[in-house]
């Protein structure tokens, strides 16, 4: 693996509307001894975050009800929630979409179209170290 996770169990909230994809990545992250919460859209994520208290949020951008951009806006307008690093994990790869997500508070971007689990783990580690 590309690095070592802190000894304290890291909590990741995976916000993704595709159930198969969400469960697959949750399984892969749990294999690395990470605690994984799951939400199917931004509305569900906002309900889960206060209780789950994630160390990092992996966020898809295209979702029903409340998309990733809307969730980023909600998070950035809250003093406490804005402290949680968000890694955008999406198939939207156009620079304007990435720039918009970063402007709204995302700390990084990983294109999920290119399955590279080690790269995802590396990005997670970099965010948690900051």
For the four alpha carbons of 70, 110, 45 and 84, in that order, the dihedral sign comes to negative
- Domain residues for the domain of 22 are 11-129
Contact (CB, 8 A) for 25 and 14: yes
DSSP letters for 47-62 = HHHHHH--SEEEE-S-
Residue range 61-120, pLDDT digits in tens: 999 999 999 999 999 999 989 999 999 988 877 889 999 999 999 999 988 876 678 888
Q: Give domain status of residue 101, yes or no.
A: yes
Q: Which is higher by pLDDT, 5 or 33?
A: 33
Q: Give domain status of residue 33, yes or no.
A: yes
Residue 2: per-residue pLDDT: 47
pLDDT above 70 covers a percentage of the chain that reads 91
Structural domain count, the chain: 1
Residue 105's domain is classified under what CATH number?
Answer: 3.40.50.2300
Task: Identify the CA nearest to 60 among candidates 120, 117, 109.
Answer: 109
Q: Give domain status of residue 125, yes or no.
A: yes
CA 38 to the chain's CA centroid: 10
Q: Give domain status of residue 6, yes or no.
A: no
What pTM did the predictor assign? Answer: 0.89
Contact (CB, 8 A) for 97 and 68: no
Q: Give domain status of residue 73, yes or no.
A: yes
Alpha-carbon torsion, ordered 103, 84, 111, 101, to 10 deg: -20
Q: Give domain status of residue 22, yes or no.
A: yes
Q: Give domain status of residue 2, yes or no.
A: no
Q: Give domain status of residue 52, yes or no.
A: yes
């Amino acid at each position: 693996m590309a690095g070592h996770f802190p000894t304290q169990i890291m909590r990741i909230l995976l916000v993704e509307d595709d159930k198969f994809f969400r469960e697959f990545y949750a399984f892969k992250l749990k294999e690395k001894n990470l605690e994984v919460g799951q939400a199917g859209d931004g509305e569900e994520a906002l309900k889960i975050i206060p209780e789950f208290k994630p160390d990092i949020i992996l966020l898809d951008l295209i979702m029903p009800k409340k998309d990733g951009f809307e969730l980023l806006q909600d998070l950035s307008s809250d003093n406490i929630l804005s402290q949680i690093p968000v890694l955008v994990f999406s198939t939207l790869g156009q620079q304007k979409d990435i720039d918009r997500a970063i402007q709204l508070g995302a700390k990084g971007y990983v294109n999920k179209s290119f399955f590279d689990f080690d790269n995802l783990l590396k990005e997670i580690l970099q965010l948690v170290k900051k």
